[in-house]
Amino acid sequence: MRQIIKKTASLIITLFIVSLLAFLAFQIIPGDPTTKILGTSASPEKVAALRTQLGLDRPVWERYIDWLVSFLKGDFGTSYNYMRPVRSLLADKLPVTVLLTVMSFAITAAAAIPLGIVLGSIRNALADHLTMILDQIIMAVPPFFFGIIACYLFGIVLKWFLPGGYVPLSASIPGCLSYLLLPALSLALPRIAMTVRMLRGSIRHELTQNYVLTAQSRGMPLRAILIRHVMRNAMIPVVTFLAVSAAEIMTGTIIIEQVFTIPGIGRLLVSSIGNRDFPVVQAIVVILAAWIMIVNFIADLLNHWMDPRMRSE
């Protein structure tokens, strides 16, 4: 319990630091939102007036504190580009990205765990060798490449779906889910390959442990030993790795949303950086950081529950 409180506190402090860094980064990189709004030929008076209106003439620290206070109140500011509250922008785009992330993560876990168990427990050297070569290849290919291939093959050649024809969740739930399936799969494939490799190695390592011999000497069949003894131990490092995967999948949506033209926060982030739309970028960066920390926090909790040695530290 005390560890949970300590972890939560460090989580909040980290989020605070991340938001400060994101804020400062925008002070350093060149470019000004007024240029985007007014165009490059605007008169200096007009630019100055807009800067005052947006509050950009005030010192950095003052603006940061203002932002932080209103952020804590739940007000994420107003987008310079869309002239809409960031909150309502995110309310439109975040569910799509979350859905894509959840689908992709579910595919990763559902495919990698059974495959890892099978590959970890077989003793056929040839089959193992071949699957590991395939695994290495899939692991090395980036998701956007799978995405492009999928768009070409299933969209243009086979015409199973219309690339760029995103179906909103509100229009048709099955339509939206089936459109998101290919991008989710593209994001999942390399993660599946990595997780399979890790779980396979973890199971093999655990099978050489003395407690396996103990279980054998009790007359327990290998299958039961795998389920009853090996799996929990083998999953401990894999859980941490899956948390990293969940984080990487969400950040991976930034690129895959471009490939499949999905209107999620990834696309919003890319266009907002281009437009120097600070409030939007700031909010998305904090959301991504919070997500990464939350999944790691959940992994820590799971590990504590799975491994009693961690509890007594």
Partner 1 sequence: MSLLEVENLRVHFHDAAPDRFAVDGVSFSMEEGDILGLVGESGTGKTVTSMCIGGLLPRWKADTQGSIRLDGTEIFDCSQKELNEILGKELTVVFQEPMTSFNPVYRIGRQIGESLYVHRKDLSQSQRNELILDAMRRAGLYEAEEISRRYPHELSGGMLQRAMIAAAIVTNPKLLIADEITTALDVTMQARIIDQLKRLNRESGMSILFISHDMHVVNRLCRQVIVMQRGRIVESGLTKEIFANPQHEYTKRLIAAIPSRYSGR
Helix axes 143-150, 231-259, angle to 10 degrees: 60
CA distance 297 to 299: 5
The residue (of 200 and 229) whose beta carbon lies closer to partner 1 is 229
Nearer to partner 1, 120 or 163 (CB): 120
Name beta bridge partners: 78: 85
Least distance (Å) between residue 3 CB and partner 1: 17
What single-letter DSSP state applies at residue 209?
S
CB of 199 to partner 1, least distance (A): 16
Least separation in angstroms between residue 200's CB and partner 1 is 19
C-beta of 113 vs 215, nearer to partner 1: 215
DSSP class of residue 238 equals H
**Closer to partner 1 by Cβ: residue 59 or 221:** 221
What's the Cα-to-Cα distance from 92 to each of 29, 84, 85, 238, 278, rounded to whole Å?
A: 28, 12, 11, 34, 18
Q: Read out DSSP for 125-167?
A: HHHHHHHHHHHHHHHHS-HHHHHHHHIIIIIIIS-SS-TT-PP
**Sign of the dihedral defined by the CA atoms of residues 178, 182, 184, 188, in that order:** positive
Question: How far is the CA of 62 from the CAs of 55, 56, 67, 176, in angstroms?
Answer: 10, 10, 9, 43
Min dist. Cβ of residue 213 to partner 1 (A): 7
Min dist CB 128 to partner 1, Å, is: 14
The least CB distance from residue 257 to partner 1, in Å, is: 40
Residues within the interface to partner 1 (CB under 8 A):
123, 209-211, 213-221, 224, 229, 232-233, 236, 306-309, 312
* Residue 206 or 257 with smaller CB distance to partner 1: 206
Alpha-carbon distance of 149 to 102, in angstroms, equals 22
Residue 222 CB, nearest distance to partner 1 (Å)?
Answer: 8
The answer to whether residues 66 and 57 touch, using CB atoms and an 8 Å cutoff, is: no
Q: 189-198: b or e for each residue (b if 16 or more CB lie within 10 Å)? A: bbbbbbbbbb
Q: Is the CB of 84 or the CB of 232 nearer to partner 1?
A: 232
Q: Please identify, using beta-carbon distances, which residue of 24 and 306 lies nearer to partner 1.
A: 306
215 or 287: whose CB is closer to partner 1? 215
CB of 119 to partner 1, least distance (A): 18
Q: Confirm if 282 and 66 have CB atoms less than 8 A apart.
A: no
